[in-house]
Amino acid sequence: MQLRSRQALADYIDLLGLSERQVARSAGLSHSTVNHLVTGRRVSCSLRTAMAIERVLDCPPGLLFAPDTDADRLALSRLWSRSDARGNPDSGADSQQR
């Protein structure tokens, strides 16, 4: 998944009054993963990482990260279609990773 804007990610974290460490801990990620995305050392991550960060920040899926591979597009499409069918955006394979 491609980070849309490192500044937007940093601003969203700041807006919620969270630290990078709090986001990382809540998402089940290392601090360095979140820090590298915020500072621009990394501009992409796995689908799982992107979804975990967006879930912790309680932002709509796809706001901060965009699919950059066909595999990511397909996985997101499947996830969204399952969510739509159930009327619950947090259902599906993703919610089992919590």
Is residue 33 included in any domain, yes or no?
Answer: yes
Is residue 97 included in any domain, yes or no?
Answer: no
- Provide mean pLDDT across the span 11-23: 97
Whole-number pLDDT of residue 41: 97
Domain count of the chain?
1
Structural domain that includes position 45: 2-87
Closest CA to 31 of 46, 21, 39: 21
pLDDT class for 77, splitting at 50, 70, 90?
A: confident
Is residue 34 included in any domain, yes or no?
Answer: yes
Helices 47-56, 31-39: crossing angle, 10 deg rounding? 90
More confident residue, 62 or 5: 5
Is residue 98 included in any domain, yes or no?
Answer: no
Whole-prediction pTM = 0.79
- Provide mean pLDDT across the span 58-66: 91
- Provide mean pLDDT across the span 67-89: 78
Q: Around Cβ 15, how many Cβ atoms within 10 Å?
A: 9
Q: What is the CATH number of the domain that holds 34?
A: 1.10.260.40
Is residue 94 included in any domain, yes or no?
Answer: no
Whole-number pLDDT of residue 67: 93
Is residue 12 included in any domain, yes or no?
Answer: yes
